[in-house]
Amino acid sequence: MAFCRNCGVHLTDPLTLCPSCKHPNSEQQQDLKHSVKTPPVYQPPLVPRTPTLDDIQDTQDGRTMAILSYIPFLFLFVLMTGNHKTSSFVKYHTNQGILLSLSLIVLGMICTPAALTLSGLLELLLLILICLAALLSMIAAGIYNAATGKRRPLPVIGKISLLR
């Protein structure tokens, strides 16, 4: 008399699957169950979206405005022309130009009161120079990205979006 190893139901043929839980009850069936492997499912590699002709034209047409948006406070000119509304490329770079200009304003607001107190003047000047060098290098990187038609986010501030 044979019983299922999994659920205990009486089996008429011990070499078959259990009629109740479908558990294999012979060593041959268990080996067969573990030896059958399903082939892996093919997943195509992730490829970045190919730019369309409209994207390429948008980039070509908006390069000048995108470059101007990185020059401190010239983003206002780009906003007044309205190019950021029609071109996603100009909008992206105008957003980063606005963030850089705001960073310069914040740097000035922090450093001006600190400069009025003369304690640690050398350390303060060094800090100001380091911050200005970092901002100028980000401006240069943004101008380079705009001139070459790329949309690379700037370090630290690149993920922030002000323009919707």
pLDDT digits (tens, 9 = 90+) for 36-54: 567 777 777 777 777 788 8
Residue 140 lies in a domain: yes
How far apart (Å, rounded) are the C-alpha atoms in residues 148 and 146?
6
For the cut 70, the answer to whether the pLDDT of residue 77 exceeds it is yes
Specify the DSSP element, H or E, that contains 145: helix 121-147
Residue 152 lies in a domain: no
Number of domains in the chain: 2
Residues 122 and 71 in one domain: yes
Residue 42 lies in a domain: no
Of 72, 71, 73, 95, which Cα lies nearest the Cα of 83?
Answer: 95
Residues 89 and 23 in one domain: no
pTM to 2 decimals?
0.62
Residue 38 lies in a domain: no
Mean pLDDT of the chain: 79
How far apart (Å, rounded) are the C-alpha atoms in residues 68 and 80?
13
How far apart (Å, rounded) are the C-alpha atoms in residues 54 and 139?
27
Enclosing domain of residue 6: 2-33
How far apart (Å, rounded) are the C-alpha atoms in residues 162 and 98?
8
Residues 59 and 139 in one domain: yes
Residue 68 lies in a domain: yes
Residue 64 lies in a domain: yes
Residue 154 lies in a domain: no
How far apart (Å, rounded) are the C-alpha atoms in residues 99 and 102?
5
- Tell me the two tokens of residue 98: 């606005």
User: Residues 70, 47: contact at Cβ < 8 Å?
Assistant: no
For the cut 50, the answer to whether the pLDDT of residue 32 exceeds it is no
- Tell me the two tokens of residue 125: 């000047």
